[in-house]
């Protein structure tokens, strides 16, 4: 069984949980990255934050976490609450255009799928 990412799960007193898409796990990731307030979050870039987290835990993260970062940064900046999945189409468009390269966690590349020939 894969081990959990080495991210501190200690509970910190933050206002981040007041955001629509922030639960205990996302809060722990943010705190581990040095973000403790909504004002600090509002200054972040979702692409950079996602990559920092991947480097911190040493493996690719689910791309939906990128969408979550987009949603919570949007809310931190505007106050507008939107479900994380409303940011998914924009991410997928950027990936398709080659403007965003997010390694996918747990997704097999086409040539790595069982029963397919990479050649």
Q: Supply the DSSP string of 43-76, one letter for each residue.
A: T--HHHHHHHHHHHHTS---HHHHHHHHHHHHHH
Q: Let me know if residue 117 belongs to a domain.
A: no
Q: Let me know if residue 37 belongs to a domain.
A: yes
Q: Let me know if residue 82 belongs to a domain.
A: yes
- The domain tally of the chain equals 1
Range of the domain at 26: 16-101
Provide the 8-state DSSP code for 104.
P
Burial class of residue 22 (count of CB atoms within 10 Å of its CB; 0-12, 13-18, 19+): buried
For the four alpha carbons of 36, 34, 50 and 24, in that order, the dihedral sign comes to negative
Note the pLDDT of residue 45: 98
Residues 70, 46: Cα–Cα separation, whole Å: 5
pLDDT tens for 47-101 read 999 999 999 999 999 999 999 999 999 999 999 999 999 999 999 999 999 999 8
**pLDDT band at 28; cut points 50, 70, 90:** very high
Note the pLDDT of residue 66: 97
Q: Let me know if residue 60 belongs to a domain.
A: yes
């Amino acid at each position: 069984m894969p081990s959990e990412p080495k991210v501190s799960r200690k509970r910190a007193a933050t206002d981040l949980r007041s955001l629509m898409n922030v639960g205990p796990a996302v809060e722990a990731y943010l705190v581990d990255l040095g973000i403790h307030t909504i004002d600090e979050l509002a200054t972040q870039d979702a692409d950079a934050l996602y990559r920092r987290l991947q480097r911190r835990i040493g493996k690719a993260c689910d791309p939906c976490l990128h969408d979550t970062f987009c949603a919570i940064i949007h809310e931190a900046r505007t106050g507008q609450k939107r479900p994380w999945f409303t940011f998914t189409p924009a991410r997928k468009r950027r990936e398709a255009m080659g403007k965003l390269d997010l390694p996918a966690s747990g997704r097999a590349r086409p040539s790595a799928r069982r029963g397919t020939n990479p050649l």
